[in-house]
Amino acid sequence: MRVAVVSDIHANLPALEAVMAAIESEQTNELWCLGDLVGYGAQPDECVARVRDSAAVCLAGNHDLVVAGAIDMSVFAADAGAAARWTVETIRPETLEYLLTLSPSGQRDGVELYHASIRDPVWEYVIDDRTAQYCLERQSSSLALIGHSHVPLVWGYADGRFVGGMAPGDTMLELGEGPFLLNPGSVGQPRDGDPRAAFLILDTTANTATWRRVDYDIGRAQAAIAEAGLPQRLGSRLAEGR
């Protein structure tokens, strides 16, 4: 089976559309989403509808849980809080209804899925070797997928040796015995210095993972953010990939 894995879309419709178009040419069987469909960006209804219609499995991210009312909004700093408030005020009832059905962890086809980490599926950032090793030791399957940091990353054990680090576009990994812990990067707000939208192709037959990047119309996403009256920084950072 070939699976397209996406995460951290953050209401960025131009980025999601570009990723969906790129996925079409990848001949995938399923789409998995690791959460944070909303927050920061200006097109939450459209993004949630696209994911709801296409994804075989979808997790809730911390932003989704705040917008759904499961977590108090006071946890967020200025820009994230302003975007969450705007999202709550503007989303359609069916968007909220879908967000309410989602959970921050799950499983599909023997793969463990967490928005953030196995220890804390909602909040923990896995961006260093030590945290990654801790998570890998607690993983019961050979593969786990996480989002949340907005950075494409890979950690795991190859021939018993701990390996890992950033996974820029077109990185291809042969998944041996593992275990492995992978982050596809972010569709709608990449933070690794590459502003292109990120996703991952998982081939469970060939046992490979390939990180992909795709250009999208950043100006269109920025214009939507400006028109919605959201903080300007949420638009400008898209061009920096930070």
Q: Which residues bind Zn ion (CB under 5 A)?
A: 8, 36
Rounded Cα distance between 1 and 19, Å, is: 19
Smallest separation (angstroms) from Zn ion to the CB of 185: 11
Tokens coding 162: 């701990």
Q: Are 60 and 102 in contact (CB under 8 A)?
A: yes
User: Least CB distance from residue 8 to Zn ion, whole Å?
Assistant: 4
CA geometry: angle at 199 spanning 194 and 205, to 5°? 140
Smallest distance from Zn ion to CB 103, Å: 16
From the number of C-beta atoms within 10 Å of its C-beta (0-12, 13-18, 19+), residue 48 rates as: buried
Local structure of residue 75 (DSSP, 8 states): G
Nearest-5° Cα angle at 38, 32 to 43: 110
Question: For Zn ion, which residue has the nearest CB?
Answer: 36
The smaller minimum CB distance to Zn ion, of residues 99 and 175, is found at 99
Least Cβ distance, residue 21 to Zn ion (angstroms): 22
